[in-house]
Amino acid sequence: MWRWLLILVLYPLGDSMANSMFKPPLVDIGLSLEEIGWLLGVVSAGIGILGALAAGFLINPLGRKRSLIVFGVMQTIAVTAYILPTVGVTNLV
């Protein structure tokens, strides 16, 4: 049981730390506060809602353990994409 609680605590921790460190590179590449607010507010919330809906449909067919692994890998890819502004990618898409 303690391992499961540890997973539940650590699972969102990396995403929240990466999310807080994501804003300064956006300012450094020249985005306005309006563009940053749009990206981190509207776009990310909309994508989060779509991801939650997709997860709701996929958890039963995949199973809980496999779902945790699959969505964890997808979250790792998304957090890794936060590196893109630091290496000079300035395309908003």
**Residue 23 included in any domain:** no
Q: What is the pLDDT of residues 40-85, one digit of tens each?
A: 889 888 988 998 899 899 999 999 889 988 988 988 888 888 888 8
Find the domain containing 61 and state its range. Answer: 36-85
Task: Confirm whether 45 is domain-assigned.
Answer: yes
Whether residue 6 lies inside any domain: the answer is no
Q: Is the residue at 72 inside a domain?
A: yes
b/e per residue, 17-41, with b = 16+ CB within 10 A?
A: ebeeebeeebeeeebeeeeeeeeee
Asked whether 82 and 18 are in contact (CB, 8 A), the reply is yes
Confidence of residue 93 (pLDDT cuts 50, 70, 90): low
Q: How many domains does the chain have?
A: 1
Q: What is the pLDDT of residues 11-29, one digit of tens each?
A: 788 778 888 888 888 888 8
Whether residue 90 is contained in a domain is answered as: no
CA distances from 23 to 26, 27, 36, 62 (A): 5, 7, 8, 34
